[in-house]
Amino acid sequence: MQSYATMSKEELQQEFENVKKIYKEYQGKGLKLDMSRGKPSPQQLDLGMEMLDVINSNSDMKAENGIDTRNYGLLDGIPETKRLMAEIMEVSPENVMIFGNSSLNTMFDMVARSMIFGVCGETPWCKLDKVKWLCPVPGYDRHFAVTEHFGIEMINVPMSEDGPDMDMVEELVSSDPAIKGIWCVPKYSNPQGVVYSDETVRRMANLKPAAKDFRIYWDNAYIVHHLYGAEQGKLLNIIDECAKAGNPDMVYEFASTSKVSLAGSGIAAIASSTKNLDDMKRTVTIQTIGFDKVNMLRHARYFQNAAGVLEHMEKHADILRPRFELVLDTLDRELAGRGAGEWIKPKGGYFITYVTLDGCATEVIRLAKEAGVVMTGAGAPFPYHKDPHDSTIRIAPSYPSLEELKDAAEIFAVCVRYATLEKLLQA
């Protein structure tokens, strides 16, 4: 396949005319396809339906410690669910607290508590002149929405195949006491699918922050979301590494079963030090008498342990893997060698990242929408929705059917070619 970079102006113009013709044919099909969010497909949701049968009106509703899950109390969560999430997160149950259905909710609340009440006795952030946050990019748009909502200044930190640029992180964190946190999706990162290297995790755990209340927000959202087996996503345990480094209080680790059981009806957990957990409980105990223990019991009885979760996630992988491979095969077939951008082949998670030539991402998204394919907005993986190169596109293959995805991937490839040729011809 000839690279566009080697084509003459006349050849580029002819190629552009051919691509425009193909694009108009897709436009004429009147398709309506949605690849805007990383939602589980209906087939994936069907996998968790038997969970609804493990508890019914005849069930024993007591947790293993004798607590009636139908009643108030037990702020931490029932012991069997704490143990389940601890096994998944590879920590001690004593370091785990179970919350509601959403880890994003727990992260929002953590930031809110820090703004209003401070962290472990430090000055509440709302009383400070400036609060800053490090944001590895491209990253998770909903993370950035949280810090933006609270008026926190966000600083871009470039990502590599090993994780965030740790030279930059170390320098900024150690020199600026206004920096209070960093967002991290360390395993199959959103959207690139990067797994943080051992060195990155160790350097993260050994940070020497200027702010005593600096915290790593370790969002392990895809901790069990493997496409090709667990061996592909080995990740050092940040809780252990922080303890070894003498920084046991520096990290909050978040996880949930939102894309494991039923999206929107899962359970969320935080793992952290005793000091951090005690600090957050002082507010949470005022906020609620307890979270949904019946749902906790349902999850514990259905999955039993981490092995049960991993077995269940193999079924998810069997559904997701063909979708990812269909998109990647289309990109290889239609775009490899054209010089129209590059992409990453993830081993897990929910997204594929495509990087266009500078200045093309917005146009690709616009063209796709006009051809009937809705995608995540250009700039979404960056704070304030500002991609400095206008080049990063997040592809979410999980929700459409394979038939729909085939059309969507082909349309996307045509749109990339269209926008690239348009850009080159204007140069």
Is position 56 within any domain? no
Residues 6 or more apart in contact with residue 80 via CB below 8 angstroms = 63, 64, 296, 297, 300, 301
CB-neighbour burial class of residue 351 (10 A; exposed 0-12, middle 13-18, buried 19+): buried
Asked which of 245, 273, 304 is the last residue of a domain, the reply is 304
Tokens 């339906």 locate to: 49
Q: Answer whether residue 51 is part of any domain.
A: no
β-strand partners of 181 = 133, 215
Query: Do 407 and 31 touch, CB atoms closer than 8 A?
Result: yes
202/72 same-domain check = yes
| pTM of the model as a whole | 0.97
Is 54 part of a structural domain of the chain? no
Question: How buried is 202 (Cβ within 10 angstroms: 0-12 exposed, 13-18 middle, 19+ buried)?
Answer: middle
Same domain, 280 and 316: no
pLDDT digits (tens, 9 = 90+) for 5-50: 999 999 999 999 999 999 999 999 988 998 888 999 999 999 999 9
Domain at 384, CATH number: 3.90.1150.10
* 394/274 same-domain check: no
- Give the pLDDT of residue 68: 98
* Residue carrying structure tokens 């003498």: 246
Provide the token pair at 329. 């095969």
Task: Please tell me the predicted confidence (pLDDT) of residue 400.
Answer: 94
Does one domain contain both 200 and 186?
Answer: yes
- Tell me the C-alpha to C-alpha distance, in Å, between residue 222 and each of 85, 99, 157, 327: 13, 18, 21, 20
Residue 203 structure tokens: 């350097």
CATH at residue 233: 3.40.640.10
Look at strands 153-160 and 132-137 and give their pairing: parallel
**Same domain, yes or no, for 264 and 131?**
yes
Helix%, strand%, coil% for the chain, nearest 5 = 45, 15, 40
Contacts 24+ apart (CB under 8 A), 142-147: 142/104, 143/107, 143/183, 143/185, 143/217, 143/219, 144/183, 144/382, 144/383, 144/384, 146/104, 146/107, 146/108, 146/111, 147/111, 147/181, 147/183, 147/383
Asked if residue 314 and residue 300 are part of one domain, the reply reads no
Domain with 253, as residue range(s), is: 62-304
Contact 254, 103 (CB under 8 A): yes
pLDDT at residue 97 in the model: 98
Q: Determine the pLDDT at residue 1.
A: 81
Instruction: Specify the pLDDT at position 37.
Output: 85
Q: Are 135 and 220 contained in the same domain?
A: yes
User: 285 and 331 share a domain?
Assistant: no
Tokens of 220: 């392990």
Residue 248 within any structural domain of the chain: yes
Q: Evaluate whether residue 37 is within a structural domain.
A: yes
Helix axes 306-335, 402-426, angle to 10 degrees: 40
- pLDDT of 231: 78
> 211 and 108: one domain?
yes
Domain count, the chain: 2
The closest alpha carbon to 237, from 260, 280, 205, belongs to 205
The tokens for 8 are 């003459």
CB distance 4 to 16 below 8 Å: no
Same domain for 218 and 363, yes or no, is no
pLDDT value of position 36: 87
Q: Helix, strand or coil for residue 148?
A: helix
Does a structural domain hold residue 53?
no
Residues 290 and 321 in one domain: no
By the 8 A CB rule, do 19 and 381 touch? no
Say what the pLDDT of residue 217 is.
98
Is residue 50 in a domain?
no
Q: Say if 86 falls within a structural domain.
A: yes
Strand order in the sheet with 153-160: 96-98, 268-271, 251-256, 215-219, 179-184, 132-137, 153-160, 163-164
- Any idea which residue has 């070894």 for tokens? 244
36: region left, alpha or beta (phi > 0 left; psi from -120 to 50 alpha): alpha
Single out the residue in 269, 304, 339 at which a domain terminates: 304
Across the chain, which has 427 residues, the per-10-residue mean pLDDT values are 93 97 94 90 96 96 98 96 98 97 96 98 98 98 98 98 98 98 98 97 98 98 94 92 98 97 95 98 96 98 97 98 98 97 96 98 98 95 98 96 95 98 93
Q: What DSSP letter does each residue of 268-323 carry, written as one string?
A: EEEE--HHHHHHHHHHHHHH-S---HHHHHHHHHHH-SHHHHHHHHHHHHHHHHHH
Among residues 280, 304, 328, which one ends one of the domains? 304
Domain check: are 233 and 325 in the same one?
no
